[in-house]
Structure 1
């Protein structure tokens, strides 16, 4: 059960001992440097952990804490499981009362198909069960098709259900990609907007959370569409999120929507639109105080400029991205940016050089991205290796490209992403005429041909 009240982390407080919060934060920063991590830990962050506001650290802090306290795990340090706090909904509204019964979305093993995510229902009762049904999170029967009554009161249970849907989609997308999730994720999105249209929030803070949650859900569903090659659907969902942000006066949601819209425009051959969206996102993001968000938006701009063949503009945007990224993480960083670490920066830079035709330089950055990538993000690991396969093939490094391509195929049972499969197919097309006489390349091409057969699931 997810409580809406912060529970003090007494175990972590005991570990601090007699040191002040500032002294302990300095020890955390020193430990981070010892293992090559970069965290912006200060007394305020330690206070947020000890108060229970931060229920689970991001991956960088996790590695640092486990380095500081060998043999301990996150539970020993007083933290909650990551699956229970993934996404925006991990931050409850201050002073919000707990729901009568909190929905529990049951996850199977990490090898379960994505198609199970919304079938594994919120097993609960009372008002929260009604909220789950209204979001289409049940399976079969009238609950799955339930509509929201006119002038229904919208409270904590309904908003929490929206936020939980966002967290669950992001968690499974990190592991498996978008193909199997997209159709099933569209239903809770529709229900979320029905709540906005016909519900009556009990207070302003609830209304703000509902709009933010619905907008983030639209972006998440848009990303699933993007990743699975449904570009028109993705464009529509991102526009829906942007409209929600504008109506709600939410600059953080606006910046996120522009960030994804820029990425989509780049991927669909509209580089000028990509640049404009990235610039608009940067304008929305500047007051938010997150250098990492500005870095990501500068990388989106760089990608658009690379698509225009504007090498100078691309290099300038990359320079701004590196400068902003170098300022380190911040408490203001949005929670959806957990994927944006140095590996992602290297990957996006690789894509810029690839678009500019500098294949060897692109391959250097893509290699670094694959080395740095956190294995928790299985989909991104497959994506980075697919990019590296393509860059190596174009650079004429055929055997290394084939070896890397095998490592992508190794992950395709876990990852369902049309985008990754398309990238791998492009690399195979480049290798085919160049790889005659190479046993390694032929083995890869044969294996790729087998893996490219249609999925039995039809998604």
Structure 2
């Protein structure tokens, strides 16, 4: 039985018939062949009931549709690789390969992470799950066989950034356990690199997993631990990001005083100007305009009347390629309009959020949209 396929389908809210249509649409868009509609109906049923093995060709399509790994799709346990009788030659070859990874190769790895970040922002995480999995695997291999600290640190930094991105993508597609494990990988890599800023960032994002799971108070503690790790030594943009994260999660936890205090700290810390990338933390996108959107999100959670104006203002200046961020703002606006009893405006934003979320395949946004729709 393919519990992985069934679980991924249900997480999207798809029927088996909808999955058949998605397979056919994928085939049309990518100029590839799939079985007839009648045969696909049989395949989907038999895949889910364990009567037919998912072929590699269909597995590749399903992974892209759902944004899951091959193990998650097939619900397969991770098997240990049996030891060889004499693996020293292989080991030494891998150590030699890792030692030859210079700064140029590390830059190429970081460039690949940036490319995947851009693709994720525009297309959604589901479309690049195979590329992200392969990229992480290559970085882990390089780090595992790098012996000396000078060789390990730059690779560990690259892995910390890539693993945090992979974790956020996994959370977006509903693969919660994979997200948690990737954040743990990012934290270990940051420790290996002696990079407290990367560690704090991974902890801050990991807090969202706890918050989504219904443990916002524990999530607040994790964010505050991240802030203690870097103290005042982190970059101002990262400090503002952590404060804004704390404010949002405090709002979820009902800690109103802590929320407003953290929000004020974020506003006081954020550097001025339109630049949004931190040279020391390329995974951080934050400037005054982004923070205004985030502030609107927090105010919406608090039911504050100022949320609506702040959010519409942020939407007007938002980069149109940030599709997932636009879906998030539309959810925030629906939340803010609901708090004011403006149900027609809330419904309009829920509908637009649903359309945007469908473009990225975001299970996380779909869950939030459904909760908002229930209140209309």
C-alpha distance in structure 1 between counterparts of 2:250 and 2:356, whole Å: 31
Secondary structure of residue in 2 paired with 1:212: helix
C-alpha distance in structure 2 between counterparts of 1:193 and 1:280, whole Å: 26
Secondary structure of residue in 2 paired with 1:387: helix
**Aligned ranges 1:262-341 → 2 under 5 Å:** 262-286=207-231, 288-325=233-270, 332=279, 334-337=281-284, 339-341=285-287
Residue 87 of structure 1 aligns with which residue? none
**CA offset at residue 224 of structure 1?**
0.5
Residue 295 of structure 2 aligns with which residue? 349
Residue 9 of structure 1 aligns with which residue? none
Residue 167 of structure 1 aligns with which residue? 114
Question: Could you say if the C-alpha distance between residues 255 and 174 of structure 1 is closer, same or farther in structure 2, counting changes exceeding 3 Å?
Answer: same
Q: Is contact 1:175-1:378 (8 Å) kept?
A: yes
Secondary structure of residue in 2 paired with 1:180: helix
Q: Is contact 1:370-1:384 (8 Å) kept?
A: yes
Q: Is contact 2:64-2:130 (8 Å) kept?
A: no
Residue 151 of structure 1 aligns with which residue? 95
C-alpha distance in structure 1 between counterparts of 2:326 and 2:372, whole Å: 17
- Cα deviation 1:314-348 (Å, max 9, x = unaligned): 111111111002555697552222x3233432333
Secondary structure of residue in 1 paired with 2:97: strand
Runs of 4 or more, structure 1, over 6 Å off, are none
2:322 to 369, 377, 386: 377
Question: Could you say if the C-alpha distance between residues 227 and 149 of structure 1 is closer, same or farther in structure 2, counting changes exceeding 3 Å?
Answer: farther
Residue 126 of structure 2 aligns with which residue? 179
- Higher deviation after alignment, 220-229 or 275-284: 275-284
1:399 to 344, 366, 370: 344
C-alpha distance in structure 2 between counterparts of 1:320 and 1:413, whole Å: 35
Residue 388 of structure 1 aligns with which residue? 333
- Cα deviation 1:344-390 (Å, max 9, x = unaligned): 3233333333443x164443433233223221322211221122123
Pick 1 or 2: higher relative contact order, CA cutoff 8 A, min separation 6.
2
**CA offset at residue 311 of structure 1?**
0.9
Question: Could you say if the C-alpha distance between residues 273 and 418 of structure 1 is closer, same or farther in structure 2, counting changes exceeding 3 Å?
Answer: same
- TM-score for the superposition, normalised by structure 2: 0.67
Residue 415 of structure 1 aligns with which residue? 360
C-alpha distance in structure 2 between counterparts of 1:320 and 1:168, whole Å: 32
**CA offset at residue 281 of structure 1?**
2.4
Residue 4 of structure 2 aligns with which residue? none
**Aligned ranges 1:9-408 → 2 under 5 Å:** 115=64, 149-154=93-98, 155-156=101-102, 158-200=105-147, 204=150, 206-286=151-231, 288-325=233-270, 332=279, 334-337=281-284, 339-356=285-302, 358=303, 360-408=305-353
Q: Is contact 1:289-1:332 (8 Å) kept?
A: no
**CA offset at residue 275 of structure 1?**
1.8
Question: Could you say if the C-alpha distance between residues 421 and 279 of structure 1 is closer, same or farther in structure 2, counting changes exceeding 3 Å?
Answer: same
Question: Could you say if the C-alpha distance between residues 342 and 162 of structure 1 is closer, same or farther in structure 2, counting changes exceeding 3 Å?
Answer: same
**CA offset at residue 220 of structure 1?**
0.8
Secondary structure of residue in 2 paired with 1:153: helix
**CA offset at residue 423 of structure 1?**
2.2
Q: Is contact 1:292-1:333 (8 Å) kept?
A: no
2:370 to 407, 422, 425: 425
C-alpha distance in structure 2 between counterparts of 1:179 and 1:331, whole Å: 26
C-alpha distance in structure 2 between counterparts of 1:187 and 1:151, whole Å: 20
5+ residue gaps, structure 2: 1-62, 68-90
Higher helix proportion (structure 1 or 2): 2
C-alpha distance in structure 2 between counterparts of 1:148 and 1:410, whole Å: 52
Question: Could you say if the C-alpha distance between residues 243 and 389 of structure 1 is closer, same or farther in structure 2, counting changes exceeding 3 Å?
Answer: same
Q: Is contact 2:301-2:335 (8 Å) kept?
A: no
Residue 73 of structure 1 aligns with which residue? none
**CA offset at residue 223 of structure 1?**
0.6
Secondary structure of residue in 1 paired with 2:360: coil
Q: Over aligned residues, Cα RMSD in angstroms?
A: 3.0
Secondary structure of residue in 1 paired with 2:127: coil
Residue 85 of structure 2 aligns with which residue? none
Q: Is contact 2:176-2:209 (8 Å) kept?
A: yes
Q: How many residues align?
A: 286
C-alpha distance in structure 1 between counterparts of 2:112 and 2:280, whole Å: 21
**CA offset at residue 222 of structure 1?**
0.3
**CA offset at residue 279 of structure 1?**
1.9
5+ residue gaps, structure 1: 1-113, 119-146, 432-459
